[in-house]
């Protein structure tokens, strides 16, 4: 299974390039339709957490809680039974009746608190009409997303992660990178008045296809070069 996942990771590398280009293109469209107030609120939330992360004690238990709840949420969504949630500063644990790569790696690409803030805001908006407080929503999303990014980078590059090692390092990092891009673009499309699902699908599909086309072209050139060199030996 390790060898299979390593092969899948190699096959997904062109998709990483295509998804990166698609995210950049969708980001430019997003910025053209984003008001200064919305962008400022998101940036303020994102920047505030960066300051907290850099200069204040890090709320490790809060991160661990979100990490384990993400495992539990994805396991529950996939029909598994969940029990035995434990959270501490040194780490956490949750028992699930089954597991797979998505359940195992979900905390590294699913921004639990950003999504939680968004769901709670829209629940309140549905009950009380919070149309005048959209800046608060984008502030909270920025804050939660910054929390996710900083802690994910910190834990991936500073301590050994059994979740990552169990799936294979190359496979894990490829999936984490791709799924983070996918999550960002899906949430942006959901919230943006300028991005549409058709634009999201066409831009992503076109760039991923081009990534594979470029890769196949270069592999063909390399194959032909190797064939010529071998024949001239």
Q: For the chain, what are the domain ranges?
A: 37-159
C-beta of residue 68 within 8 angstroms of C-beta of residue 87: yes
Match 């090692």 to its residue by tokens: 165
Structure tokens at 172: 């894990």
Distance, first Cα to last Cα, the chain = 38
Q: What is the pLDDT along the chain (233 residues), one digit of tens a residue?
A: 778 999 999 999 999 999 999 999 999 988 887 778 888 999 999 999 999 999 999 999 999 999 999 999 999 999 999 998 999 877 889 999 999 999 999 999 999 999 999 999 999 999 999 988 999 999 999 999 999 999 999 999 987 888 999 999 999 999 999 999 999 999 999 998 889 999 999 999 999 999 999 999 999 889 988 888 888 77
Q: Which two tokens stand for residue 5?
A: 């996942």
Structure tokens at 49: 């957490």
Alpha helices by DSSP H, 129-196: 134-158, 162-167, 169-191
In the prediction, which pLDDT does 233 show? 73
Are 110 and 183 in contact by the 8 Å Cβ rule? The answer is: yes
CB 139 within 8 A of CB 41: yes
Report helix, strand or coil for 200.
helix
CA 66-144-168 angle, to 5 degrees, is: 55
Distance CA 146, CA 168 (A): 26
pTM, full prediction: 0.93
């Amino acid at each position: 299974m390790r060898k299979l996942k390593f092969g899948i990771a190699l096959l997904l590398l062109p998709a990483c390039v295509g998804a990166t280009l698609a995210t950049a293109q969708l980001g430019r469209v997003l910025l053209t339709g984003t008001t200064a107030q919305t962008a400022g609120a998101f940036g303020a939330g994102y920047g505030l957490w960066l300051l907290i992360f850099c200069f204040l004690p890090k709320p490790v238990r809060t991160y661990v809680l979100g990490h384990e709840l993400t495992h539990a949420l994805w396991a529950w969504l996939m029909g598994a039974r969940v029990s035995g949630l434990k959270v501490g500063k040194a780490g956490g644990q949750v028992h699930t009746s089954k597991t797979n790569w998505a359940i195992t790696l979900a905390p590294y690409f699913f921004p639990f608190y950003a999504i939680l803030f968004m769901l709670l805001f829209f629940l309140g908006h549905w009950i009380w009409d919070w149309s005048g407080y959209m800046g608060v929503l984008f502030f909270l999303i920025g804050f939660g997303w910054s929390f996710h990014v900083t802690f994910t980078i910190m834990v991936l590059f500073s301590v050994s992660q059994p979740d990552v090692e169990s799936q294979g390092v190359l496979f894990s990092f490829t999936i984490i990178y791709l799924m983070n891009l996918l999550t960002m673009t899906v949430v942006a499309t959901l919230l943006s008045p300028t991005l549409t699902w058709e634009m999201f699908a066409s831009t992503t599909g076109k760039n991923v296809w081009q990534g594979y086309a470029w890769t196949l072209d270069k592999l063909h050139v390399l194959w032909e070069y190797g064939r010529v060199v071998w024949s001239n030996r």
